[in-house]
Amino acid sequence: MRCGSNYSFYLSLHREFNERLAARVVLIRPEDLEISLKREDIRIRKMADDVAGEVHRMKAFVRLSSLSPNILYGFMKSRHRIGEHVCEHFARRNEGIIVVLGNGRESWICLCRDGRIWRERGSGLEESLGLLKSALNIEESGQDLAGAGLKRINLDRLWQAYYDSQYCPERKNLAAFNRRMPRRDQEAAGMRLVQNKRNASLDDFI
């Protein structure tokens, strides 16, 4: 994934981004960076591409569940500081709905309404959802995380049935699959691994 002309933005989201890099970024134009062969410029390019790649894969692989008609949430544990950016993407896609992304340590909350964006950061995902539940006066019964989790499992099952139907065994190409869907990113997005679903497992016989 190439960051293109927006490289300074992606670079600023890199986990190793610092003031020295920020000063360097001001001096170099995107078109010059693309053809520069200086060691540091190549490193900057790689860093920005790495972030752009992770942003793209998180936008693709993070799955959202509905806690109530007003809240969607999903698990995400990224390597770079992209939480807010990805959360904003989902908020724009689901206007009028609060989107919460996060993991055990941190979470990002976004709402897009009439083209405006509201953002908030929180601690763990569970905690943020708890706070939102009380703010929205969502009762515990039937609206809790377990209930939402069940719906998510049902939707996952539906998706899995469809996903399996798309596979052509005569075209099997695991190398391409692994290249395009790295295990690391699947795990970062809290995805159930979809590989080898058509192969029989020990569970099938027990």
CB of 178 to another protein, least distance (A): 9
Binding window for another protein (CB under 8 A); candidates: 11-19, 22-30, 75-83, 172-180: 172-180
Of 5-13, 20-28, 76-84, 125-133, the segment contacting another protein by CB under 8 A is 125-133
Exactly one of 26, 146, 174, 200 binds another protein (CB under 8 A); that residue is 174
Residue 184: CB minimum distance to another protein, A: 15
Report the amino acid identity of residue 169.
P
* Distance of closest approach, residue 6 Cβ to another protein, in angstroms: 12
Candidates 18, 26, 27, 171: give the one binding another protein (CB under 8 A): 171
Least gap, CB of 77 to another protein (angstroms)? 16
Q: Tell me how far apart the alpha carbons of residues 54 and 187 are, in angstroms, rounded to a whole number.
A: 12
Token pair in block for residue 172: 């099997």
Please say which residue, 22 or 167, places its beta carbon nearer to another protein: 167
d(CA 118, CA 116): 7
Q: Does residue 145 interact with another protein by CB under 8 A? A: no
Full strand arrangement of the beta sheet holding 65-68? 65-68, 71-75, 98-102, 107-113, 116-122
- Please give the Cα distance from 144 to 80 (Å, whole number): 30
Q: Is residue 80 a contact partner of residue 54, using CB atoms and an 8 Å limit? A: yes
How far does the chain reach from its first CA to its final CA, in angstroms? 43
Please report which residue ranges of 81-141 form alpha helices under DSSP H. 83-93, 125-135
Contacts with another protein in 18-37 (CB under 8 A)? 31, 34-35, 37
Which residues ranging from 34 to 63 are in contact with another protein (CB under 8 A)?
A: 34-35, 37, 42, 56, 59-63
